[in-house]
Amino acid sequence: MLTPEQQKLFRFLYLLANSYGTNFMEFEVEFDDYLSDDPLDSNTFSRSGWGKSTIEIPEKAAQELTDFINENVVPKLESTLDLIFRENWIDEASHIKLNIRIDMDSRQFTSELEASWYGEEEADGSLDEMPEGVFDEIQNSVPGGDVKKATVEYLGGGDSGEWGSEIEIQTNDGRTFMVPLGNETDIWITNNLPGGWEIDEGSSGTVFFNLIEKEIDVQHTWNTYNSSTETVLEFEF
């Protein structure tokens, strides 16, 4: 239930929006990856919209709106974020944002908290026959050959990716070496990773070279970027 002063504030905002020829006001508060303990500043609520759609809010009204949000919305943010974490089985976010919309047509105030985070899908596997050139190159990469298996890890994202310049070698007697990645092996990796492995959120994985069976197994995991939104406070004015 709004106090008389709060009712007066929202009536003023309603008339102000109408004077600008718009039927809503919107505000966004960015929190990066954690919620700040500091109260919100009135500068955040001194204008709504962009360009020709900008609504300039008088200082007194902006401060009153800020005080209202600090008193009625901000104290609920932590519990709302905890709810998002529980419902999505995560324990941290990469970005948090508070969205506030005041709809003048429906006389509705809505505040929502949005959390975004990086995740990953289950790994996919693909098995290929090892070319003789790759087999010979890996066998000859350590003195005496006798290589049992080799691995190369790769990581992509943001339209680029890499797998380094070395390959891990394990011999039949259990010795492990890091040796320079050969040209034949590098070309095979370049031509056989899943399409799109390096774009958007990218992906990661490991290329396993089984020299006993002469097979190459690519274990690939797609990275994802997820978000969830929960209502913090909503009411009609």
Q: What pLDDT score does 212 carry?
A: 95
Beta-ladder partners of 24: 103
Per-residue tens of pLDDT for the chain, all 237 residues:
799 999 999 999 999 999 999 999 999 999 989 999 899 999 999 999 988 889 999 999 999 999 999 999 999 999 999 999 999 999 999 999 999 999 999 999 999 999 999 887 776 778 899 999 999 999 999 888 789 999 999 988 766 778 989 999 999 988 999 999 999 999 999 999 887 777 766 688 899 999 999 999 999 888 788 999 999 999 999
How far apart, in whole angstroms, are the C-alpha atoms of residue 237 and residue 234? Answer: 10
How far the first Cα of the chain sits from its last, in Å, is 9
Q: What pLDDT score does 106 carry?
A: 96
Q: What pLDDT score does 174 carry?
A: 87
Query: Distance between alpha carbon 50 and the CA centroid of its chain, in Å?
Result: 26
Confidence (pTM): 0.72
Residues with Cβ within 8 Å of 12's Cβ and at least 6 positions away in sequence, in order, are 61
Q: What pLDDT score does 160 carry?
A: 73
Q: What pLDDT score does 201 carry?
A: 65
How far apart, in whole angstroms, are the C-alpha atoms of residue 181 and residue 150? Answer: 11
